C-alpha cells in the first residue's frame, strides 16, 4: 500500500503502511513533493529485544512490540461458547490496515484497521487544515458477536528525539492556565483530569520542543484534546528512544460497553507543529478557529457583527436585583458606549443567595413582578443587547425541582435518597442535574427554550460551578453520558435560537476546550478580574484561543478575589486584548476613571477588527517581570502592542525592547495609545525623571529596526502597562 502524504501551510504528515499497520513516520516541517523509498526508515533490531523492528503505529499496540502505553485497552466480558463468563478475552488486539484513502481534497486521510479474531475495527480520520492544524480521531466498532468493554482508546502523535523539553499548563480557581516546564526524561508523564469537566488545572496545551524553545524560536510539537469531561494527557518516552504525545477520555469502570455493531468515537486531538516557537503553534490554532463557518468573526457568517463591548452586573450588584439600581447601571453603561448588558445570577425563583433556586428556571415574581421585560426594554431602548446568566446543569436541594424530582439528581447509587441512596458531597451548595435522564434533559431544554422565546435575549452566560465528583446514572459512572448530553443541549438550543450567543463559564475557566467551543461563542477565562493575574491567564489561554473568544473585563479598582488595587489604565489595557467588557459598578467610577475608560472603549471599537483577526505575537525577553505582546494585522499594515511591568525590574531601566512581528521592509509610526497625558494616571504609570525621547511625539522606523534594535521603554511602575499603536506609513 502506497504511503499517504498530507501537506499544508508548510507542514507534512507522512503515513506509511509497509509494516501492515498505519504509521505516522513524520509530522513536522514540509518534506516537499519528492519522497524516497520509505524502506530506508526501517529501524535496527537491538540485542535482547523483539526479533523484528518494533512498530509505533497510529494505534500503538503490544502485538507490534510497543512496550509503552497501548492506544486501545479493553476486553470482552466472556468468550462466545463458554458456559461460565470469564472476563479478559480480546485483551490484546493485533490491528492491521484493511484500507486507506485520502479525503478532504488530498489534505485528509481515512484509515481502517481491524482484527477479525478480536472482532474489532478502528477507523482513523485525519485532516491537515489549510492553516497547518492537524485533527485526528478514532472510531472503534465492535464487529464481534458479544459485548466489548472499552477501557481506553487514545489518540497519539509522534515526537522526535530532539524534543528535549515539555511545557504544559495548570492552575486553580482564579489562577487558570499558568505554565510549567520540565525536561523530557524516560518514562510516561501523565496529567489526569477527574473533574467531570475540563478542570481549572487542565492543560489547555501540551507542547514538546527543542531545548530552550520560546515564544518565537525553536521547533515545537503541541497538542490539545477537545473534550469537556474526564481525560488524560500524556507523553510516553520509551527506552528505545521513541516518544508520543497523546490523550484519551478517562473512562469509569464499565462506563463504555459496546454491544455488537455499536461504536465509540474518541474526542478530537488537535496537533500543531511550529518551526518558529510557540507563536507558530498559536497561529495554526487561530487560523483553524477563524476558518470555521460558525466563528463569531467569520465575515461570511450571516448576521456577522463585531464583538460587542460588554457590561456584566455580577461585581456591580451581586444578588441585589432591584430594578432602579439596574436601570442606573444601564444608563451609565449606555453613556460609556456599552453594547451588551448582562444580568448575572439572582433573577430566578428563590435565588437570594447561592444556597437555593438552581433548577427553578422561572423569573422570580417577588423580585420581578412584571418579569424581566422592564429591564430588557430599558436596555434595548438604550441601544444595547440584553444577556442573561444561567446554570442549567446544576441544582440546589433547596429548589422546587429537587423536591419534586430527587431522582433527577446525579449520584453514585442506583437508589434514590428516599431508598437510602447517598448523594455526592455538596459543592457550593449544589448538585449535578442528571442530563442522562431524558426527563431531566427535556425539562431543562423546555425551560431555556421558553425563556429565550418569551424574552428578547441575545446572549446566555452559561455557568457550571462544580466538579462532577461521583457522577452516576443508574448506579454506573456517567461522566461520558453527561458530557454528551450537555453537548446535545447546547446544540439543540443553538439550532432553535441561532441568533443567541452563548458563553462557556465554569466557575471561571474550568470548561475551556475545543469540545465546548464547537458549541459556544466565547469562554470566561477566569473569575479573577485582577489585571495582574489576568496578564498570565490571558496570555496562556490565548496560546490556543483567539482573543475574540476570551472574555476579558475591567474589574473594580479593588479586586474582590485578590485584594489588589490597580489603576484604570492597567485594567483597561489588560482587558483590551480579549473580548472587552466591564464587571464593575461603573456608577462609582471617578470622573478621571470614566475618562480613561471612555478612551479605552473607543480604542477597542477602533481596533477590534485588528485585535480579532490579526496575528498574535509575544516577545522573547530576558527580564522575567517585563512582557511585550501584541497583535499584528495579516497584511502587516498595523499592530497594537502592550508593554507590561509584572513586577519590579532587575535593571534601573528596561532598556531597548524589540517590537516583534511587523513587516521588516515597511516603515511604521509608533505612538502611545494609552495612557495619554490627559489621563489622570499618566504620571503615576512611570517612575522616571524624564521619559524616553520618543514617548511624547512618537517614533518612525522600519519594522526591521523596531524588531532588531527596538525602542527604549519608559520606566514603568510595577503592575502598570503601556499601549502602543504601530501604523505603516
pTM of the model: 0.97
Say which residues have a Cβ less than 8 Å from residue 96's Cβ, sequence separation at least 6.
20, 21, 113, 114, 115
What is the gyration radius of the CA atoms in the chain, in angstroms?
Answer: 27
CA 446/CA 435 separation, integer angstroms: 13
CA 1/CA 163 separation, integer angstroms: 30
CA 337/CA 600 separation, integer angstroms: 11
Closest CA to 281 of 395, 383, 205: 205
Neighbours of 334 (CB within 10 A): 18
What would the grid cell of residue 2 be?
502506497
CA 255/CA 257 separation, integer angstroms: 7
What would the grid cell of residue 268 be?
478530537
Per DSSP, helices labelled H in 407-461 are 438-454
First to last CA, the chain: 56
Number of H helices, E strands in the chain: 12, 40
Owner of C-alpha cell 464583538: 307
Domain ranges (residues) in the chain: 4-291, 392-522, 617-728
Say which residues have a Cβ less than 8 Å from residue 366's Cβ, sequence separation at least 6.
none
Helices 531-541 and 568-576: crossing angle in degrees, nearest 10, is 10
pLDDT for the residue numbered 300:
46
Question: What residues does 387 pair with on adjacent strands?
Answer: 342, 459
Active site residue 398: no
Question: What stretches of 463-602 adopt beta strand conformation (E)?
Answer: 472-473, 476-477, 501-504, 522-524, 550-554, 579-582
Say which residues have a Cβ less than 8 Å from residue 647's Cβ, sequence separation at least 6.
625, 718, 719
What would the grid cell of residue 376 be?
430588557
CA 241/CA 244 separation, integer angstroms: 10
CA 467/CA 200 separation, integer angstroms: 10
Query: How far from chain centre, in Å, is Cα 349?
Result: 32
CA 203/CA 116 separation, integer angstroms: 37
Active site residue 463: yes
For β-strands 11-16 and 4-8, DSSP reports them as antiparallel
Low-confidence ranges of the chain (pLDDT < 50): 300
Catalytic residue chosen out of the listed positions 344, 513, 521, 527: 527
CB 466 within 8 A of CB 482: no
CA 232/CA 138 separation, integer angstroms: 16
Catalytic residue chosen out of the listed positions 236, 463, 467, 521: 463
CA 51/CA 55 separation, integer angstroms: 12
What would the grid cell of residue 9 be?
501551510
SS3 317: helix
- Evaluate whether the domain defined by 392-522 bears CATH number 3.30.70.600: no
Phi and psi at residue 425, to the nearest 5°: -60, 145
3-state helix, strand, coil in the chain (%, to 5): 20, 30, 50
Question: What residues does 209 pair with on adjacent strands?
Answer: 165, 220
CA 383/CA 48 separation, integer angstroms: 76
Sign of CA dihedral 511, 517, 523, 526: positive
- Evaluate whether the domain defined by 4-291 bears CATH number 2.70.98.60: yes
User: HSE of 606 in the Cβ direction (CA atoms, 13 Å)?
Assistant: 11
Put residue 171 in one of left, alpha, beta given phi > 0 → left and psi -120 to 50 → alpha: left
CA 270/CA 329 separation, integer angstroms: 42
One DSSP character per residue, 575-623 reads: HHSSEEEE-S-GGG--HHHHHHHHHHHHHHHHHHHHHTTSEEEE---S-
SS3 569: helix
CB 479 within 8 A of CB 229: yes
| Of the options 3.10.129.10, 1.10.3720.10, 2.60.40.1180, 2.40.30.10, the CATH number for the domain spanning 617-728 | 2.60.40.1180
Amino acid at each position: 500500500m502506497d504511503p499517504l502524504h498530507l501537506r499544508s501551510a508548510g507542514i507534512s504528515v507522512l503515513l506509511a503502511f509497509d509494516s501492515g499497520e498505519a504509521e505516522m513516520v513524520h509530522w513536522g516541517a514540509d518534506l516537499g513533493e519528492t519522497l524516497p523509498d520509505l524502506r530506508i526508515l526501517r529501524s535496527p533490531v537491538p540485542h535482547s529485544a523483539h526479533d523484528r523492528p518494533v512498530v509505533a503505529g497510529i494505534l500503538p499496540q503490544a502485538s507490534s512490540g510497543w512496550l509503552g502505553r497501548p492506544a486501545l485497552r479493553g476486553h470482552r466480558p466472556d468468550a462466545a461458547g463458554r458456559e461460565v463468563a470469564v472476563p479478559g478475552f480480546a485483551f490484546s488486539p493485533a490491528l492491521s490496515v484493511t484500507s486507506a484513502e485520502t479525503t478532504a481534497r488530498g489534505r485528509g486521510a481515512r484509515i481502517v484497521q481491524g482484527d477479525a479474531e478480536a472482532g474489532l475495527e478502528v477507523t482513523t480520520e485525519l485532516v491537515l487544515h489549510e492553516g497547518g492544524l492537524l485533527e485526528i480521531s478514532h472510531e472503534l466498532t465492535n464487529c464481534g458477536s458479544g459485548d466489548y468493554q472499552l477501557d481506553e482508546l487514545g489518540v497519539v502523535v509522534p515526537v522526535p528525539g530532539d524534543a528535549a523539553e515539555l511545557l504544559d499548563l495548570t492552575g486553580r480557581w482564579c489562577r487558570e492556565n499558568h505554565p510549567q516546564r520540565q525536561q523530557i526524561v524516560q518514562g510516561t508523564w501523565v496529567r489526569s483530569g477527574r473533574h467531570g469537566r475540563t478542570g481549572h488545572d487542565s492543560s489547555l496545551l501540551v507542547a514538546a520542543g527543542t531545548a530552550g524553545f520560546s515564544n518565537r524560536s525553536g521547533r515545537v510539537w503541541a497538542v490539545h484534546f477537545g473534550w469537556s469531561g474526564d481525560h488524560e494527557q500524556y507523553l510516553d518516552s520509551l527506552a528505545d528512544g521513541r516518544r508520543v504525545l497523546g490523550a484519551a477520555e478517562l473512562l469509569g469502570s464499565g462506563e463504555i460497553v459496546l454491544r455488537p455493531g455499536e461504536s465509540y468515537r474518541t474526542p478530537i486531538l488537535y496537533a500543531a507543529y511550529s518551526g518558529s516557537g510557540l507563536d507558530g503553534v498559536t497561529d495554526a490554532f487561530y487560523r483553524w478557529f477563524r476558518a470555521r463557518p460558525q466563528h463569531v468573526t467569520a465575515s461570511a457568517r450571516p448576521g456577522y457583527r463585531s464583538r460587542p463591548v460588554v457590561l456584566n452586573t455580577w461585581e456591580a450588584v451581586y444578588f441585589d436585583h432591584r430594578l432602579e439600581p439596574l436601570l442606573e447601571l444601564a444608563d451609565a453603561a449606555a453613556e460609556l458606549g456599552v453594547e451588551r448588558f448582562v444580568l448575572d445570577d439572582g433573577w430566578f425563583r428563590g435565588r437570594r443567595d447561592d444556597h437555593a433556586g438552581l433548577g427553578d428556571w422561572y423569573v422570580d415574581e417577588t423580585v420581578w413582578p412584571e418579569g424581566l421585560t422592564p429591564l430588557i426594554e430599558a436596555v434595548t431602548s438604550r441601544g444595547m443587547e440584553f444577556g442573561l446568566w444561567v446554570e442549567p446543569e446544576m441544582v440546589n436541594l433547596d429548589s422546587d425541582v429537587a423536591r419534586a424530582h430527587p431522582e433527577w439528581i446525579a449520584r453514585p447509587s442506583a437508589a434514590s435518597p428516599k431508598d437510602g441512596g447517598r448523594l455526592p458531597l455538596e459543592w457550593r451548595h449544589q448538585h449535578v442535574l442528571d442530563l442522562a435522564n431524558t426527563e431531566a434533559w427535556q425539562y431543562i431544554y423546555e425551560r431555556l427554550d421558553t425563556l429565550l422565546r418569551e424574552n428578547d435575549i441575545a446572549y446566555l452566560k452559561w455557568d457550571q460551578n462544580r466538579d462532577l465528583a461521583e457522577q452516576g446514572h443508574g448506579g454506573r459512572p456517567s461522566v461520558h453520558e453527561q458530557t454528551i448530553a450537555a453537548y446535545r443541549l447546547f446544540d439543540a438550543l443553538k439550532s432553535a435560537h441561532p441568533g443567541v450567543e452563548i458563553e462557556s463559564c465554569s466557575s471561571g475557566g474550568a470548561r475551556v476546550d475545543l469540545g465546548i467551543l464547537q458549541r459556544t461563542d466565547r469562554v470566561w477565562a477566569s473569575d479573577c478580574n485582577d489585571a495582574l493575574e489576568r496578564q498570565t491567564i490571558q496570555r496562556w489561554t490565548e496560546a490556543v484561543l483567539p482573543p475574540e473568544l476570551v472574555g476579558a473585563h475591567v474589574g473594580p479598582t479593588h479586586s474582590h478575589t485578590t485584594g489588589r488595587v490597580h489603576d484604570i489604565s492597567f485594567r483597561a489595557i489588560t482587558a483590551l486584548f480579549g473580548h472587552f467588557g466591564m464587571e464593575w459598578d461603573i456608577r462609582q467610577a471617578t470622573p478621571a476613571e470614566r475618562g480613561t475608560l471612555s478612551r479605552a472603549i473607543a480604542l477597542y471599537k477602533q481596533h477590534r477588527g485588528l485585535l480579532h483577526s490579526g496575528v498574535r505575537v509575544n516577545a522573547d525577553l530576558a527580564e522575567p517581570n517585563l512582557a511585550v505582546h501584541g497583535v499584528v494585522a495579516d497584511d502587516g499594515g498595523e499592530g497594537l502592542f502592550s508593554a507590561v511591568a509584572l513586577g519590579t525590574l532587575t535593571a534601573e531601566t528596561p532598556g531597548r525592547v524589540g517590537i516583534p512581528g511587523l513587516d521588516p521592509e515597511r516603515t511604521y509610526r509608533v505612538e502611545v495609545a494609552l495612557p495619554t497625558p490627559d489621563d489622570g494616571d499618566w504620571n503615576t504609570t512611570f517612575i522616571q525623571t524624564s521619559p524616553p525621547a520618543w514617548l511624547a511625539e512618537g517614533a518612525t522606523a522600519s519594522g526591521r529596526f523596531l524588531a532588531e534594535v527596538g525602542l527604549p521603554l519608559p520606566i514603568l511602575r510595577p503592575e502598570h502597562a503601556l499601549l502602543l499603536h504601530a501604523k505603516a506609513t
